[in-house]
Amino acid sequence: MLPKTFIQNKKRYLAYNQFRKGLFAELAPKDSEAILHLLPWMLNENNPQVPGYVPHLARPIGVYNLDNDPEIRKREASFSFLFHIDKARRRVKFKPDSWMIQGVYTIGSVGSVTQTACSDCDIWLCVDRDRFGEEGMAQLQQKVNLIKDWLDANIRMPVYFFLCDVDDVRKGHFGDVSGESCGSTQKNILKEEFYRTAVMIAGKIPLWWLAFDPEDDVDYRKLAANYEREVFGDYDAIDLGNLERVEQEEYFGAALWQFNKALTHPLKSITKMLLLQMFLAFPPGRLLCHQFRAEVMNPVKDRPFIDPGTFTIQSIFDFNRDRDRDDFHFIQKCIYLRCDVKMHSRKAGMREELLRETFQKDPLSREEIHSLNKFKTWHFHDQVRIGNRTLALLLKIYKDITGVHLNAGPSRVSPGDLRIIGRKLSSCLEKKPNKIQVIHKPTDSLNQPTLVFRFNGKKWQVLPADDQETVIVEDVHIVSCIAYLVWNDLFRPGEIRMLPNPTPVTLQEILNLGNKVRNLFGTYNISAIDFQNFSVQEKLETMLVIANFEDTSGNRNGDAYSVLYTNNWGELFLDRVGSAEAFCDAFNGRSRKQRSLNVHYHVQRTSLQYEKIIERAKKMVMETLGQG
């Protein structure tokens, strides 16, 4: 590579990186200011008044070339004022004996059209672990933890830091850099995402980005060797290694673990699953990061920069356009919602401008766009239907990915990983006797209405207050309805009503039981269940024995019990037993070896025989399970 080409590439990359920072600033003005400017300044400081102060720091810590960053210099006075630092100590300085952070980078959706109000920010701090040594790495980690505490308290966007050794990144040894590094295969796929999506907050430019020549292929190893020998007279780049190919089994392994997240957040995961499906169809050497680098670094007059989110969505659309047309049309809608796009609205900004051409190739109708813009106000059931269809599409993608992988021959993906995913799928989707079913929400915040309990003479029903014809859940037993609402995070005590009815159940008792169920079991979240739980057989974990909830006086045949219990696979069940003998038949032998089972009890406070009912229930559980 000619020095002239290298210099042009460097200027082009810095302009592109500034474009990404500008997009981040528009999408999250306050948070971007803290992450892009205040964060590197705090990393460079070690003052008792500044977050990140480490007493008795063995050597100063500094970010490469931060003292020459005009954006930091411009803000230095305001940062010092924020933390009440004396004017005489305001100048950013890098001391020769400092431990150097060579680069601070984001990875993921930040600074792209896929960034939304729900996005978090993963940040890599690249350092030479050998130069820092054990003491230096421990003090850097301490500093980073303190800065994270301050950011958590002062900005909305969750920030996660990963300390990366430059040599490890170069070799593709990432440890838990991803924050989700479970699975038997993950190596180059993370580097592909990093090169494609990274924003350089401060420090050195990844040399990979400069290894481009529109006229010829670049020999990366030769370039890295020449750079190390100072052939270019430049010191502002960092060699994090080349990336030539990603094997199919790596994509498959990533798809398995991404599908795990999709079970809880289907709409949030749709882009990554579609991307992995596309990657598996490509030859191992055809990488999206290479195509994106060529798009950014090959200058064309009057052509604006494109962000990695827009480029990825364009690639996904191109890949799916000639496949199933109904699926393609639905994919467009999913990505529109996933990116929180607002075409034809007063809120349109850089995101909409960047995506406009992408959606114009196969345009959604103005009616569809107008409807999608108002998704947050859709009726609850219409939103849930989108979630169900998104999950169905994800299952279709998963089957396609699995089929491609099986046809590719022997795999190094461990049988244990496949078994875990199979059990996760079962716990999420399989209908089992007495299991509380889950709603597959497209987003965390649905347009949930005020809910009304109604007894129609045979069944309990829960209805939206503004739609008496739509039934959200119904069952002969009200405990089943309460458990369903709590498990699906629909139980909002201040927004629950009950119509007059002849039963002894009161609204207050519904709220009391709902609160207890929520405190004990929480809400459904399969992605929060430890992977190791699925490597062992199913076992009970927590049980709530509810006595005579719908008949506070008991009955002539004795007490009736509703038994709620969770297992280690994140499933919630409800059994109805009419006697101690029926309880024994249902649970005898299931938990005598499970001494960790937590058993709780609930009886309405208005019950005439409260203490006696509790005693009988505890005796029943002790005799059957050996614990109470």
Q: What is the mean pLDDT of the chain?
A: 89
Helix and strand counts by DSSP (H, E) for the chain: 22, 15
Spatial distance between the Cα atoms of 356 and 334, rounded to a whole number of angstroms: 16
pLDDT in the model for residue 182: 42
Beta-carbon contacts of 162 under 8 Å, excluding residues fewer than 6 positions away, are: 122, 123, 124, 125, 176, 177, 179
Banded pLDDT at 301 (limits 50, 70, 90): low
Helix (H) or strand (E) holding 448: none
Beta strands in 530-611 (DSSP E): 540-547, 561-567, 572-577, 598-603
pLDDT in the model for residue 468: 85
pLDDT in the model for residue 427: 80
Strands 99-107 vs 199-203: parallel, antiparallel or unpaired: antiparallel
C-alpha distances in Å from residue 534, one per residue of 269, 424, 427, 431? 22, 7, 10, 18
Spatial distance between the Cα atoms of 568 and 35, rounded to a whole number of angstroms: 38
User: Could you give the 3-state DSSP secondary structure of residue 562?
Assistant: strand
pLDDT in the model for residue 2: 84
Helix/strand/coil percent split, the chain, to 5? 50, 15, 40
| pLDDT, tens only, 156-209 | 999 999 999 999 999 988 765 444 444 444 678 999 999 999 999 999 999 999
pLDDT of 628 above 60: no
pLDDT of 311 above 60: yes
Name which residue leads in pLDDT, 441 or 24.
24
Count CB-CB contacts under 10 A for residue 439: 18
Spatial distance between the Cα atoms of 14 and 405, rounded to a whole number of angstroms: 39
Residue 204: phi, psi to the nearest 5?
Answer: -95, 150
DSSP-derived letter for residue 150 is H
pLDDT in the model for residue 425: 77
| pLDDT, tens only, 427-451 | 887 888 999 999 888 887 889 899 9
pTM of the model: 0.87
Tokens read off for 289: 């990061």
Tokens read off for 236: 């502002």
**Mean pLDDT to the nearest integer, 381-391:** 92
Residue 536: phi, psi to the nearest 5?
Answer: -120, 165
> Could you tell me which of 75, 115, 106, 105 has the C-alpha nearest to residue 92?
75
Beta strands in 231-360 (DSSP E): 237-238
Kindly state the percentage of the chain with pLDDT values over 90: 64
Spatial distance between the Cα atoms of 55 and 46, rounded to a whole number of angstroms: 8
3-state secondary structure string, 224-244? HHHHHCCCCCCCCEECCCCCC
C-alpha distances in Å from residue 529, one per residue of 264, 420, 422, 466, 535? 11, 11, 14, 36, 12
Beta-carbon contacts of 600 under 8 Å, excluding residues fewer than 6 positions away, are: 516, 520, 542, 543, 544, 545
Name the burial class of residue 490, with classes exposed (0-12), middle (13-18) and buried (19+) by CB atoms within 10 angstroms of its CB: buried
Q: In which region does residue 459 sit, left (phi positive, over 0), alpha (psi from -120 to 50) or beta (all else)? A: beta
pLDDT in the model for residue 626: 74
pLDDT of 408 above 50: yes
Alpha-carbon dihedral sign for residues 617, 519, 382, 318: negative
> Could you tell me which of 223, 188, 191, 190 has the C-alpha nearest to residue 207?
223
pLDDT in the model for residue 51: 97
3-state secondary structure string, 469-525? CCCCEEECCHHHHHHHHHHCCCCCHHHEEECCCCCCCCHHHHHHHHHHHHHHHCCCC
pLDDT of 556 above 50: no
pLDDT in the model for residue 594: 56
Name which residue leads in pLDDT, 405 or 402.
402
| pLDDT, tens only, 575-591 | 999 888 889 888 876 65
Banded pLDDT at 609 (limits 50, 70, 90): confident
pLDDT of 134 above 80: yes
User: Could you give the 3-state DSSP secondary structure of residue 285?
Assistant: coil
pLDDT of 72 above 80: yes
Residue 360: phi, psi to the nearest 5?
Answer: -75, -20
Count CB-CB contacts under 10 A for residue 360: 10
3-state secondary structure string, 348-364? CCHHHHHHHHHHHCCCC
